[in-house]
Amino acid sequence: MTDSLVEIRDLHFAYGDRSVLRGINLSIPRGKVVAILGVSGCGKTTLLRHVGGQLRPARGQVKFDGQVVHELDNDALYAMRRKMGMMFQVSGLFSDLSVFDNIAYPMREHTDLPEDVIHDLVLMKLHAVGLRGAHALRTSELSGGMERRVALARAIALDPRLIMYDEPFAGLDPISLNTIANLIRRLNDALGLTSIVVTYDVSESLKVADYVYFIHDGVVVAEGEASAMGDSTDPFVHQFVHAEPDGPVAFQYPSRPFGEELDISAAASGIKPTA
């Protein structure tokens, strides 16, 4: 994969004693939609926070548009983030602002555009996600699907080079889910963006993505063209794509044998284990 907007090399990170990323290597090519898949808690959101410069790696590096993110000073990091858009897991809209003002906020914060230009740009962004007629609504008046679309409109407010989607399909009904998935693909191609979709939703991500990385236990365990993942013989990919209970991903969190736990519990309570 060449001409990458984002390059991640040997990325390590831990929360205290708990190691989360153990040597991640991946590239995000310009103009493509790349999905990063893995079970909950595998480090997908942590990876996005490194791309945005919210976290600093213990080892390794993240490059955005040729710049090493953790080496930037505050001003350079601020300027870099203006080239990124983010759609958060829980949308992250300002509850005390209208839909219009939520979209206008980054324009007012980061540009010197006059209000009449901002007005037209906001309506254009909302039109792109099918919600121009909802510009005067409060966020409390939005359905879950509408809220995600407003969040998407805000993510593209400043015409970023990169948009990061953190679990964009979580909690949506099938119609809203399909709408968001189609918008991700359509906006990426129409606006010439680069998109990272972090999710555990296999079926939708494989429909919209060009390339897929699978993360497990802090490393990339598989990767490839999205169109080829359904027929993959890789054990991890096969288990994940087909939602099978048995495979490399264990259902039980690591622990001592269950029988030992029962014996210890019984001994502590003074109950003699039965044979």
Separation between Cα atoms, residue 103 and residue 108, nearest integer Å:
9
117-127 mean pLDDT? 95
pLDDT per position as a tens digit, 43-94: 888 999 999 999 999 999 999 999 999 999 999 999 999 999 998 877 788 9
Residue at 205: amino acid letter:
S
CA dihedral 238, 241, 242, 246 (to 10 degrees): 60
162 neighbors 64 (Cβ within 8 angstroms): yes
Domain(s) labelled CATH 3.40.50.300 in the chain stretch across 4-83+161-269
Q: Rounded distance, CA 237 to CA 235, Å?
A: 6
Across the range 155-172, mean pLDDT stands at: 89
How far apart, in whole angstroms, are the C-alpha atoms of residue 198 and residue 103? Answer: 23
Shortest CA distance to 13 belongs to which of 67, 70, 56? 56
**Over the stretch 8-50, which tens digit does the pLDDT of each residue have?**
999 999 998 889 999 999 999 999 999 999 877 788 889 999 9
pLDDT, position 25:
95
Lowest mean pLDDT among 129-138, 149-158, 231-240: 231-240
201-259: per-residue pLDDT in tens?
Answer: 888 888 899 999 999 888 998 898 988 887 777 777 777 776 666 666 665 556 677 77
* Tokens 């191609």 belong to residue: 189
In this prediction the pTM is 0.83
**pLDDT for 274 beyond 70:** no
| CATH match for 4-83+161-269 among 3.40.50.2300, 1.10.10.60, 3.30.70.240, 3.40.50.300 | 3.40.50.300
The phi and psi torsions of 43 (rounded to 5 degrees) equal 110, 15
Where does the pLDDT of residue 1 fall: very low under 50, low under 70, confident under 90, or very high at 90 and above?
A: very low
Confidence of residue 97 (pLDDT cuts 50, 70, 90): very high
275 pLDDT band, cuts 50/70/90, is low
Give the β-pairing of 59-64 and 67-68.
Answer: antiparallel
